[in-house]
Amino acid sequence: MFRKILFPVSLLYGLGAIFRRFIYETGLRKKKTLPKKVISVGNLSVGGSGKTPITIEIASYLKSKSIKPVVLSRGYKRKSKEDYVVCSEVKDWEKCGDEPYLMTLKGIEVVVGKNRYKNGLLYLDKADVFILDDGYQHFQLERDLNILVIDATKPFWKDSLIPVGNLREPKSFYRFADCFIITRTEFLQKQEDFFKKLKTYKKPFFVAESQFEGVLDNSWKLHSIDFLKGKKVVVFAGLGNNQQFFKTVENLSTTYGFLIEKKISFPDHYHYEDFTPDKRKLYLTTEKDLVKLKNYDNIYALSYRLKLPKEFYEFMEGKLWRTKTL
């Protein structure tokens, strides 16, 4: 009943989303072009789908090939008012936003600000490739590779437009993607059904593999997950999809022999200003949350990456440079 009440609002939202993309795709408003290659990583829905780990993975790969990537981010929920912020210079998650600051800790150059075209021009001499973080709906800027990230547990074809569902744009707008990157397939009970449906969209797709590297302490030192063996752990997160993180930790608790005492769910991008952990307890959270809680030595973060197959990088290189190898 609640969804039916919101349906007219969802229709109006959808019309606005269609119009906004239409004026750029038809040239009524001209897109701007940076004189460097541009990769966009984004999705159709709100909430976590793995965009940030995918951005980190692509940027790290480019760096391994001696290509300088710079991430252009809007810095969602940052507290700074400047037109642009270079996160490696300010070294402050509140000024950058939690996700851009996390990327900086991973050794990636990030420039935060609303006008990504202008910020890209300011950083031309330090970038070979720009990566638009959460850029699928950033129509103002041309891109050479447009990546749509899909959470396998919440695919866009099973969703609805805001506010009935979580879609920012109509389902049909998947067609503007050059390829799909699929995350969280390990949580699927019927993978065959998922991939059968996915293939009907006739887009190249690549499956990201979750790899757990250990747990990080507040000094960003990495420990083996065996560190948790035999311990009681309070698990918490402030993500777009906390339940998936909780499921991951549940699986790891069985494998590594630790006990989940309690699970606490906070809103996405939570600032933790009123959060006071019990000093007698051990806490486990995400890297994105740990950057905001570095003053506590009893809080650890699960460190993981989303590994992309070599076929994706071959596809990416072909789109950017029309060659198979860099």
Considering only the C-alpha atoms of the chain, give the largest distance between any 2 of them, rounded to a whole number of Å: 62
Q: Across the beta sheet with 129-133, what order do the strands follow?
A: 85-86, 109-112, 69-73, 129-133, 37-42, 145-151, 179-183, 205-207
**How many angstroms separate the CA atoms of 27 and 17, rounded?**
16
Instruction: Pick the closest to residue 75 from 129, 157, 147, 134 (CA basis).
Output: 134
Give per-residue pLDDT as tens, 142-192: 999 999 999 999 999 999 999 888 999 999 999 999 999 999 999 898 899
* The architecture CATH gives domain 2-208+308-321: 3-Layer(aba) Sandwich (3.40)
pLDDT higher at 2 or 180 = 180
For the chain, the structural domain boundaries read 2-208+308-321, 212-304
Q: Locate 265 and state its tokens.
A: 């769910």
Please, what is the angle between helix 51-64 and helix 98-105, to 10°?
A: 30
Give per-residue pLDDT as tens, 271-297: 998 899 999 999 999 999 999 998 899
Adjacent-strand bridge partners of 273: none
Give per-residue pLDDT as tens, 27-56: 899 999 999 999 999 999 987 788 999 999
**How big, in percent rounded to 5, are the helix, strand and coil portions of the chain?**
35, 25, 40
**pLDDT at residue 325, as a whole number:** 43
Tell me the whole-structure pTM to 2 decimals.
0.92
Helix (H) or strand (E) holding 140: none
**How many angstroms separate the CA atoms of 90 and 294, rounded?**
16
**How many angstroms separate the CA atoms of 217 and 131, rounded?**
29
Burial of 247 (0-12, 13-18, 19+ CB in 10 A): middle
- Coil vs helix vs strand at 90: helix
Helix segments in 41-97, DSSP class H: 51-64, 87-90, 93-96
List Cβ neighbours of 98 (8 Å cut-off, separation of 6 or more).
77, 269, 288, 289, 291, 292
Least confident span in 52-56, 64-68, 73-77, 216-220: 73-77
Dihedral of CA 256/262/263/266: which sign? Answer: negative
